[in-house]
C-alpha cells in the first residue's frame, strides 16, 4: 500500500523568470506514515521538510529572518548575516544568502556533524567552531555570534533563538499548511524544540484555527530544561543539553518558546530516536535525521493517548544523509551506547 502524500504545488515550479530559490521554501508534502499509523491505530503524518532548498525546516526561519531584516533596513545590500546555529539554520542562511548576495558567518558548537559543517562552507559561508560551554560564556557559540554581529560593519545578527520572525515563519507557513493539508482535521501536533520557533508558530496557529481543539505537545530530549519547565514550571539552567541529537534541547527559555501554546510535554531518549531512524528505513523507506526521528517517537507516544483514528502531525526536520559520520557510523554509535537494537528494526516496543 503506497504512502499517501498531501501537498501543494511549489511556488517556484513555474516558467516565471522572477522565481528564485527563496520562492521554493515551504509548501512541503505531508506524508502518511503507514507502519506507525497501523501500530498505533491513529493516522500519523510527517511534514517532509527535507524537501526545502537547503534540505531542512530551517529554510523557513532563515527566509523570514532575511526578509524582515531587509524590510526593517537592518540588512543592507552586500551586508553580512551572522548566526549561531546547530547546523541547519546556518546551512539555510548560507544557501539563501548566496542566492541573495549576502556574506554569511555562522558559529557552531564543535560537536556538530562534519557533513553540515562542510556543506555550509561549500555554500561560501564562514564557519567558526566554538567550544561546548554554557550560554553567556564569551566563547559560547551564541555569545560569539552576537559579538560579531555588533562589531562587524554592515552586519546583522539574525538571532534565531529570540527573533520572532522565526515564530512568524511557522505561524503563517508551517501551521497554516498543516491545517489546509489535513482539511482542518488534525487532532494533535508534536515536535521538539531547538529555538522553539516551530512548536510556537505551529501550535499558536493550530490553536487559533481550531478554537483550541488541537492538542499540542513538546517532545524533549534528556538534558534539556524545557520538559521540567512545562510540566513542573521549574527552570534549572544547564551548561548544555547532554543529548547527542543535534539542534534540539536547550538550556534556557527562548523568546520564541514563550509564544508556544502547548498542552503538555514528554521526554524521549537518544536510543529511542536512533532505533526509530533504522525502523523508518526498513518500514517506511525514508532516511531521517535524529531530530525528525525523535519527533516521530513523540508522535507515537501522543497517538497512544488519543482515540483510534485521531490525526497526529509532526515535522520531519531533515534527512539522514547529513549525519553519516554519526548515526550511520558503528564506532560513533558504540561510543555513545546507541547501537540500534533488533527491536528497532522490528516493532515499536522501543518507544517507551
Domains in the chain: boundaries = 5-56+171-345, 58-157
Q: What is the mean pLDDT of the chain?
A: 90
Where are the extended beta strands (E) located within 1-49? 5-6, 30-32, 43-48
What confidence score (pLDDT) does residue 10 get? Answer: 44
Query: How much is the CA Rg of the chain, to the nearest whole Å?
Result: 19
- pLDDT-derived band at 55 (thresholds 50, 70, 90) equals very high
The more confident residue out of 159 and 236 is 159
Give the architecture (CATH level 2) of 5-56+171-345: 3-Layer(aba) Sandwich (3.40)
User: Which residues contact residue 233 at a Cβ distance below 8 angstroms, ignoring those fewer than 6 apart?
Assistant: none
Nearest one of 119, 71, 67 to 97, comparing CA atoms = 67
| pLDDT at residue 241, rounded to an integer | 52
**What single DSSP character describes residue 52?**
S
Which residues are CB-neighbours of 334 under 8 A, at least 6 positions away?
none
Report phi then psi at 51, rounded to 5: -90, 0
Asked whether the beta carbons of 25 and 174 are under 8 A apart, the reply is no
Q: Is 47 a catalytic residue?
A: no
Active-site residue, 58 included: yes
Average confidence (pLDDT) over 288-308: 97
Q: What is the pLDDT of residues 322-343, one digit of tens each?
A: 999 999 999 999 999 999 886 5
5-56+171-345 and 58-157 in the same fold: yes
Collapsing DSSP to helix, strand or coil, 184 comes out as coil
pLDDT for 259 beyond 60: yes
Burial class (CB in 10 A: 0-12, 13-18, 19+), 116: buried
Q: Which of 224, 291, 310, 326 is flagged as catalytic?
A: 291
Strands in the chain per DSSP E: 5-6, 30-32, 43-48, 80-84, 103-109, 126-130, 155-157, 188-191, 215-221, 264-268, 311-316
pLDDT of 237: 54
β-pairing verdict for 264-268 and 126-130: unpaired
Would you say 110 and 133 are in contact if contact means Cβ atoms under 8 Å apart?
no
Please pick, among 37, 54, 56, 58, the residue that the annotation labels catalytic.
58
Top CATH class of 58-157 equals: alpha beta
Least confident among 145-159, 221-235, 260-274: 221-235
Tell whether the model's pLDDT for residue 219 goes beyond 80: yes
Helix (H, G, I), strand (E, B), or coil: what is residue 75? coil
Q: How far apart are CA 33 and CA 79, in angstroms?
A: 43
Cell of 277: 531512524
Give the CA dihedral 145, 191, 238, 64, nearest 10 degrees: 20
Amino acid at each position: 500500500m503506497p504512502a499517501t502524500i498531501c501537498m501543494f504545488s511549489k511556488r517556484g515550479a513555474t516558467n516565471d523568470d522572477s522565481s528564485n530559490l527563496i520562492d521554493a521554501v515551504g509548501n512541503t508534502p505531508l506524508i502518511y506514515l503507514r507502519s506507525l499509523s497501523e501500530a498505533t491505530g491513529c493516522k500519523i503524518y510527517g511534514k517532509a521538510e527535507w524537501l526545502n532548498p537547503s534540505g531542512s525546516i530551517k529554510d523557513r526561519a532563515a527566509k523570514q529572518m532575511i526578509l524582515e531584516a531587509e524590510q526593517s533596513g537592518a540588512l543592507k545590500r552586500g551586508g553580512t548575516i551572522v548566526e549561531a546555529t546547530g547546523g541547519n539554520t546556518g546551512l539555510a542562511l548560507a544557501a539563501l544568502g548566496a542566492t541573495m548576495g549576502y556574506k554569511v558567518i555562522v558559529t557552531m558548537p564543535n560537536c556538530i556533524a562534519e557533513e553540515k559543517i562542510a556543506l555550509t562552507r561549500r555554500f561560501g559561508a564562514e564557519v567558526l567552531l566554538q567550544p561546548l560551554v554554557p550560554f553567556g560564556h564569551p566563547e559560547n557559540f551564541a555569545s560569539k555570534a552576537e559579538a560579531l554581529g555588533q562589531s562587524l560593519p554592515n552586519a546583522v545578527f539574525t538571532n534565531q533563538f529570540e527573533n520572532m520572525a522565526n515564530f512568524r515563519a511557522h505561524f503563517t507557513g508551517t501551521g497554516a499548511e498543516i491545517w489546509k493539508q489535513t482539511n482542518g482535521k488534525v487532532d494533535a501536533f508534536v515536535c521538539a524544540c531547538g529555538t522553539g520557533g516551530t512548536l510556537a508558530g505551529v501550535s499558536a496557529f493550530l490553536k487559533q484555527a481550531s478554537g483550541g481543539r488541537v492538542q499540542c505537545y513538546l517532545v524533549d530530549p534528556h538534558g534539556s530544561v524545557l520538559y521540567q519547565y512545562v510540566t513542573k514550571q521549574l527552570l534549572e539552567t544547564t551548561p548544555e543539553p547532554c543529548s547527542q541529537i543535534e539542534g534540539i534541547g536547550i538550556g534556557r527559555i527562548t523568546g520564541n518558546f514563550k509564544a508556544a501554546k502547548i498542552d503538555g510535554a514528554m521526554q524521549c531518549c537518544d536510543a529511542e530516536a536512533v532505533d526509530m531512524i533504522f525502523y523508518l528505513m526498513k518500514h517506511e523507506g525514508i532516511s531521517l535525521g535524529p531530530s525528525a526521528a525523535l519527533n516521530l517517537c513523540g508522535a507515537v507516544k501522543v497517538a497512544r493517548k488519543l482515540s483510534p483514528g485521531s490525526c497526529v502531525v509532526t515535522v520531519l526536520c531533515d534527512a539522514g544523509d547529513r549525519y553519516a559520520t554519526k548515526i550511520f557510523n558503528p564506532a560513533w554509535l558504540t561510543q555513545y551506547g546507541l547501537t540500534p537494537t533488533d527491536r528497532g528494526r522490528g516493532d515499536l516496543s522501543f518507544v517507551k
